[in-house]
Structure 1
Amino acid sequence: MTINVLVTGGAGFLAINTAKFFKAQAASVFGIGRSKDDSDLECYDGWIESSVTCKALLEFDVRFDLVVHCGGGSSVGYAQENPLEDFYKTVAGVAELLEFVKKNNPEAHVIYPSSPAVHGQQPDVPIDEDDEIKPVSVYGYHKEMAENLLICGHKLFGLKVSIIRFYSIYGVGLKKQLLWDACKKIVSSPSAVFWGDGNETRDWIHVDDAVGLIHFLFTISEPPLVVNGGGGASMTVRCVIELLERYLGVPPSSSFNGNAKAGDPKYYCAGQRVLKGLGWSPKVSIQDGLFDYVEWFKKNYG
């Protein structure tokens, strides 16, 4: 039986990869968002150019089996500088979506890519889903509000909801965040300088694994309400930069300015308790994933 899938924020990196995956599974895939290029929309059977509102979603006239809500703010820095706009994108967007689902599509499974930014600053140990929620950025506070709305929809209205706190999603085609910025800096400067001291840790998950986790949660009968989406192993930013330099064929010469960006936690590592209990684990190693990313970068932009 063909399933109907809705992907919001449909022109984003995770969204497009999600749409392509389900399209390859013979699903009918629909998207809503602000597109950047017509090529972004080739994976959709229907598209609405709009912010996520209940009114706009009604234009589809489709009963969805799965809603992957990738819409909303995606930048800590942008949210700090534009808190009201980020609120409307992230928090109000979830409220609009839930109103649509509650009134018109209550059987749909809503999967929300959230962020470990809800946990704020944590010690250098894996973060469990049940660890304290104490955001330190506008971005983190808004993600917490969005999560609370989804949990409310689940507990009060019986909506089927899964929240995935994705850590650092990366992969071929990503043109923002650390890997993209670092590759551009490294190839254009003999002595690239990066924020922080290099000892910050991040947990990386390849986009193929991120999409695989979304699909996995959709297929199991009783998915958890909240789950970490990470590789379960931290790597320092310094180590990531060194790997990029090696794969780019550039002598190691990068340095760090010692200044932390506002709102950026120092340590990130996803606890794996819930995922291991479900029998799911990522497949792509960070070394293989970074190598493929650099090969793509060199071929197209190096």
Structure 2
Amino acid sequence: MSALTIPRAALITGAGGFIGGHLSRYLSARGCEVRGIGHSAMSREECAALGISKWYSGGIGPSALKETCAGAEIIYHCAGSGSVPLSLQEPMTDFRSNVVATADVLEFSREAGGIPVVYLSTAGVYGKADKMPICIDDPFRPVSPYGMNKLTGEALMRQYGTFFNVPGTILRLFSVYGEGLRKQLLWDASQKLHRGDQTFFGTGNETRDWIHVSDAVTLITRIGACASPQMPVFHGANGEAVRIRTVLERLAACYDVPTPIQFNGQGRPGDPSDYHADVTASLALGWQPEVALDDGIACFADWFRRDMAATSMAAPIPRGRL
């Protein structure tokens, strides 16, 4: 069983992003000195809100890593593109974000004497799996450049562990959601429902294994203590397959939007129909997901309503109209 260990100082790549930002706040609130690297500039106030003591904008590279990582006990590599459509439209952009940046992080770790690296991978490395739930040692069949590039990042992790003794661990995340995520299913669906559009891609019978970002963050923190040159692998999920139709109906109910939800029967390129994770290894660490899906969806809907009121809407949005 792995203890929940909070490092004294940590570097988070992509600390201004969705998962990286939640991780930054979580660690900082527990006394960790958080340094961050990202592409965008960040004001002092924005850094303070995320609990980041030092921020480097301009992306990941040798100079950025040297400037921000001095004294850090661990690197949480949260940066990278997370978009299947973008990987199909701009494959080199995805390659640089998910492969080149990972190579830079690992080479820096090697030169610095082996700073542990926690690598956020994806269920997309499995592609269209033959059976459910998916086990950690199941075959890899990525169906998008994104999945292939994340798998390449995993291979780099193993290369640096095997040949250079760099310690690390790999977390294959399934469907991470939560307040602040301005992309993917819940965000896109909330916008569509707001416009009065209740028709979605697929059949509705596709399944995903959801994990709230707060549960993902506690798992990321816990597996850091497992880092070794053997690169142990864990799944970030709840261990439950939920139909897309069910998720969208629950979301619509939060907005008092009448159902039924409609589906057009068309699939999206690069999207497997089903995902369901075996989370045995994660549970063995003493970690447990704490946010029930119904509660997480309700919190997301409340946040979305507030976000819409604060940005694109001039006044608060009443229930029944988002």
Q: 1:124 to 1:130 in 2, by over 3 A?
A: closer
Amino acid at match of 1:98: L
What is the deviation of 1:151? 1.1
Distance 1:9 1:256 in 2: 34
Equivalent runs, 1:1-302 vs 2, <5 Å: 3-35=8-40, 38=43, 40-42=46-48, 43-60=51-68, 62-106=70-114, 108-123=115-130, 125-189=132-196, 191-219=197-225, 225-301=232-308, 302=322
CA-to-aligned-CA distance 1:162-181 (integer Å, 9 cap, x gap): 10001111111111110011
2:169–2:227 Cα contact (<8 Å) kept: no
Distance 2:129 2:227 in 1: 32
2:22–2:213 Cα contact (<8 Å) kept: yes
CA-to-aligned-CA distance 1:169-218 (integer Å, 9 cap, x gap): 111111111001101111211x4211111111011101110000011112
2:117–2:227 Cα contact (<8 Å) kept: no
Amino acid at match of 1:148: A
> Unpaired segments of 5 or more residues in structure 1?
none
Counterpart residue number, 2:315: none
Q: 1:37 to 1:179 in 2, by over 3 A?
A: farther
Give the match's secondary structure for 2:251.
helix
Q: When the two structures are superposed, what TM-score results if normalisation uses the length of structure 2?
A: 0.88
Distance 2:250 2:7 in 1: 42
Distance 1:130 1:160 in 2: 20
2:158–2:231 Cα contact (<8 Å) kept: no
Distance 1:12 1:245 in 2: 26
Distance 1:45 1:293 in 2: 28
Equivalent pairs: percent with the same residue?
35
Q: When the two structures are superposed, what TM-score results if normalisation uses the length of structure 1?
A: 0.94
Pairwise CA RMSD: 1.8
Give the match's secondary structure for 1:63.
coil
Distance 1:151 1:5 in 2: 22
Distance 1:286 1:40 in 2: 29
Give the match's secondary structure for 2:52.
coil
CA-to-aligned-CA distance 1:257-282 (integer Å, 9 cap, x gap): 11111000110111122123333221
Amino acid at match of 1:41: C
